[in-house]
Chain A
Amino acid sequence: GQQVMQIPQYQHVQEGEDFTTYCNSSTTLSNIQWYKQRPGGHPVFLIQLVKSGEVKKQKRLTFQFGEAKKNSCLHITATQTTDVGTYFCAGLAAGGTSYGKLTFGQGTILTVHP
């Protein structure tokens, strides 16, 4: 079945440092979505990437979708303590009827030290 690998599992940074998490799918994706889950919270949708090579920015966050639509990354510039949480990528398989089934990466737990 489809698998989405996400690295690193943990990342500790000093406030102000940059952070990147990477996702790689075993199969071509229709789209990839990114979610953030704060400690004790629930996943909150951040962004969806659909097109090959797509790059989207949200303030200090930059999201990229690979040319082959199998990999993606999230980069945060100058982290702040409010960035703390777990970042998940979730891929929607290409082709066929997926019924919206997302395959989640394992998540990257980000800790920001002030």
Chain B
Amino acid sequence: DTEVTQTPKHLVMGMTNKKSLKCEQHMGHRAMYWYKQKAKKPPELMFVYSYEKLSINESVPSRFSPECPNSSLLNLHLHALQPEDSALYLCASSPIWGDRGMYGIQYFGAGTRLSVL
């Protein structure tokens, strides 16, 4: 099973709403990622969790709040978003192995297409 599951597939929210995106994987991967992707652009890294701890925050605004409750789940909490935050939000996971923490290839979920009105 090489599947990363993201819910919901589509989300429309107002600028005052609070919503959450969810990501789940059962491949035993200990690294999980959030990316933001605009049309015709590459994925842009937002956060990396390694062994359920936040290891990279790419200076993302605080209106995006990640959470990793356990090794299989990753959430992204959204609050007071702006219209320019409308994008495809991708979750990915990868294995980590070895004493030097080698990160393997990333498997992407299908994404949540977010529209902020």
Contact = CB atoms under 8 A, between A and B. Distances in A.
Interface of A: 33, 35, 41-45, 48, 86, 88, 90, 92, 97-102, 104-107, 109
B107 A45 contact: yes
A9 B109 CA distance: 24
Contact of B105 (A33, A86, A105): A33
6 contacts: A44-B108, A45-B106, A45-B108, A98-B103, A100-B104, A102-B45
Task: Give the most central of A41, A100, A106: most B CB within 10 Å.
Answer: A100
A42 to B, nearest CB: 5
B105 A48 contact: yes
The 8 closest A-B pairs by CB, nearest first: A100-B103, A104-B42, A99-B55, A42-B108, A43-B108, A99-B48, A42-B110, A42-B111
B76 interface: no
Nearest to B56: A99
Nearest to A86: B40
Nearest to A44: B108
Given A42-B90, A99-B56, A100-B48, A88 B105 contact: no
